[in-house]
Structure 1
Amino acid sequence: MIPYVRDIAFEYGRCDQLSPLIRRVIANNPGPFTYVGTGTYIVGRDEVAVIDPGPDDPAHLEAILAAIPGERVTHIVITHHHSDHSPLAGALKARTGAPVYGCAVATPDEDDGGVKMEAGHDAGFRPDVSLCGGGEIAGPGWTLEAIPTPGHTSNHLCYALKEENCLFSGDHIMGWSTTVITPPDGDMTDYLRSLEAIRERGFSTLWPTHGAPIREVRPFIDAYLAHRQERMDQITTALAAGPARIRDLVPRLYADVDARLHPAAARSMLAAMIHLTRQGVLAADGEPGPDSTYRLA
């Protein structure tokens, strides 16, 4: 069982001091993909970095600026291009003059009219400074290391705050829920590799963009990995009875889940199928896709 952390004390628009170097303001955009809302982090004092300014919400912009009177924003830092993370970067840059740091998506997803698995994409996201290959940014008394963590999206970055041995984990690891992996931009193989890389860093705290901090980091990541493996084991066990398509397996493997969520479960299963095919565990009739027939290799 994943030891979810779901209790969080907050008020929308209020700035909370979370640690000596970290403050947070939560946007009023609760929902099925955002939990209580987007948590925008402010790192440092006097000259600060703002991590994931959030959705295009003028009230949230004013709340961020009200939290730093007399201080200067020197870095606007983005974990990835989803619409609950990056759209406000442009307005914050216009008000502060700070450049935007992050990683652009090489091939943005298109809206295919299918089931929505996320809050949407910020198709116009273009950082001023690319951190796709990693790198460091710094201010007085703080240093952030960009760590490429593809999986949830191809351009996802986490940021380690060296002075506090903590990580701003974006949507890569969330305390309240598992992370959505939706092909083609989401990739299960990359995601599992990124999880293992973060686990080995030995961070003392994870600060997700949505929800409360994770303090027991290694056990939490171990449970995250075990959950993904359990889902893949369910697939291989089901396919031991014979070839099947995703649409055949979802009602069986997600029988305890509201049927309205089965289309979303199918997208998640597709990510697992692609991964297992790469690993040589499964075979598909042609390129693995949502309508392919899968069998044990």
Structure 2
Amino acid sequence: MKTNVKLRKALWESGHVTPSLFGVRADNITPMTVVGTNTFIVNAPGSPKALVVDPGPPDVLHLRKVMAACADRNAEIAGILVTHHHLDHIAGTDLLRHLIAHGPESIDPDNVPATMDGTRFRFNAFGNYPLVVFPEEGVPVYHTELGNLPEGPFAPFEGCPAMEIVALPGHSYDMVGLILNDEQVILTGDLIFRYWSTVIPYGDGNLGDYFRSLNRLQRLVRAGVVTQFVPAHGFPIDQPIKALEGYRAHRKERLAEVTRIVDGGAGFDPDAVVAGVYGNIDDPMLLRASLASTVTQLEYLAEQRGGEFSFDPREFNRRFPNLGQT
């Protein structure tokens, strides 16, 4: 992926978003993560405890920065929340828990043990999901698959800001948003970004769910509950309604383009539709994402027309055997 002016502007390094929210960007830049993953620290001013949201990749240097940012606030990490199961968000969780328990210098950045390198989370998102289990000892982890992240008020420890969990499926089946009530911001994971669109992969995401989640965000803004979106990649979004309208329009335009190609002779052949929409794609990671997104749109289009569409998720394994979900 070429890094254009907009993406360079989106290379948000780190810093305060609100008095209770601080971000640290991981240097895991790929065609899928674009500018890297934002790991967020939630810490009420003066509180001795902090919540880490999305540890990011199993990168010792990144996680040391996260721990240092907490130390600068005189706060210990008392909980870890994962917005969804994709590798660029969850893979560093085991490593972070170890560094918290044994110290930031306890692991050589160039020699991360296999038990902590995120390998156990590697899976193909299109049909097979990871078994998200963590040892009971250590800092608590909160994730939808663990059954400890229901919608509603979220208070993992004493002294945390007033927070609320909101289900936001679409990009993934398990996506959640985290609202900081008093500061009127919501961490939106990978649902919406400031400068580019998100992928909705078949078998994991769902376009109907995605539209419903956009509508839910809009209701939160209209009700005055939130005034700012804080995505997991790139800069915060200060004009949420404008961003939502742009995203909704983009999705409808892309769906109209897919519909035109389907009705123009490609039918519901995913490869033919990908070629018609995207042209020739050389990067395997981008090709996989384009195919996954296209299949999702074909599924949605078939549902809207009262028909059926099926695609074997194992096809992604066959075509892209060396690409795990990012």
TM-score by length of 1: 0.78
The 1-side partners of 2:124 and 2:77 are apart by 34
Q: Which residue does 2:42 correspond to in 1?
A: 43
Of 298, 303, 311, the residue aligned with 1:289 is 311
Alignment deviations for residues 212-263 of structure 1 (CA, whole Å, 9 cap, x no partner): 01111011111111111111112223333456222223322334x7465555
Q: How does 1:189-268 map to 2 (within 5 A)?
A: 189-202=208-221, 203-242=226-265, 244=267, 245-255=269-279, 258=281, 260=283, 261-268=286-293
Q: Which residue does 1:102 correspond to in 2?
A: none
The 1-side partners of 2:209 and 2:299 are apart by 11
Q: 2:154 aligned with 1:137, yes or no? A: yes
Question: For 1:234, what is the secondary structure of its paired residue?
Answer: helix
C-alpha change, 1:160 and 1:242, in structure 2 (3 Å) is same
C-alpha change, 1:75 and 1:226, in structure 2 (3 Å) is same
Question: For 1:40, what is the secondary structure of its paired residue?
Answer: strand
| Structure 1: unaligned runs, 5 residues or longer | 98-107, 292-297
The 1-side partners of 2:160 and 2:287 are apart by 48
For these two proteins, the number of residue pairs brought into alignment is 264
The 1-side partners of 2:49 and 2:62 are apart by 20
Question: For 1:73, what is the secondary structure of its paired residue?
Answer: strand
The 2-side partners of 1:67 and 1:38 are apart by 16
Q: Check the 8 A contact 1:83/1:122 in 2, yes or no.
A: no
Question: For 2:252, what is the secondary structure of its paired residue?
Answer: helix
Structure 1 residue 145, shift from structure 2 partner: 1.1
Q: Which residue does 1:177 correspond to in 2?
A: 196
Q: Which amino acid aligns with 1:270?
A: V
Of 48, 67, 76, the residue aligned with 2:69 is 67
Which sits farther off after the overlay, 59-68 or 206-215? 59-68
| Structure 2: unaligned runs, 5 residues or longer | 1-5, 102-120, 134-140, 314-326
Q: 2:130 aligned with 1:123, yes or no? A: yes
Structure 1 residue 283, shift from structure 2 partner: 3.4
Q: Check the 8 A contact 2:12/2:234 in 1, yes or no.
A: no
Structure 1 residue 158, shift from structure 2 partner: 1.0
The 1-side partners of 2:10 and 2:258 are apart by 35
Q: Check the 8 A contact 1:35/1:176 in 2, yes or no.
A: no
The 1-side partners of 2:91 and 2:129 are apart by 6
Of 64, 80, 84, the residue aligned with 1:76 is 80
C-alpha change, 1:242 and 1:109, in structure 2 (3 Å) is farther
C-alpha change, 1:241 and 1:167, in structure 2 (3 Å) is same
Q: Which residue does 1:18 correspond to in 2?
A: 17
The 2-side partners of 1:29 and 1:243 are apart by 36
Q: 2:87 aligned with 1:92, yes or no? A: no
Q: Which residue does 1:7 correspond to in 2?
A: 9
The 2-side partners of 1:189 and 1:50 are apart by 30
Alignment deviations for residues 95-121 of structure 1 (CA, whole Å, 9 cap, x no partner): 447xxxxxxxxxx99539xxxx9xxx9
TM-score by length of 2: 0.72
The 2-side partners of 1:62 and 1:134 are apart by 31
Percent of aligned positions that are identical: 28
Task: Give the root-mean-square deviation of aligned CA atoms.
Answer: 2.9
C-alpha change, 1:270 and 1:109, in structure 2 (3 Å) is farther
Q: Check the 8 A contact 2:273/2:294 in 1, yes or no.
A: no
C-alpha change, 1:243 and 1:32, in structure 2 (3 Å) is closer
Question: For 1:30, what is the secondary structure of its paired residue?
Answer: coil
Of 115, 127, 148, the residue aligned with 2:167 is 148
C-alpha change, 1:207 and 1:259, in structure 2 (3 Å) is same
Which sits farther off after the overlay, 205-214 or 122-131? 122-131
Q: How does 1:149-164 map to 2 (within 5 A)?
A: 149-164=168-183
Task: Report the structure, 1 or 2, having the larger strand content.
Answer: 1
Alignment deviations for residues 18-57 of structure 1 (CA, whole Å, 9 cap, x no partner): 2211111111211212222211111124221111111111
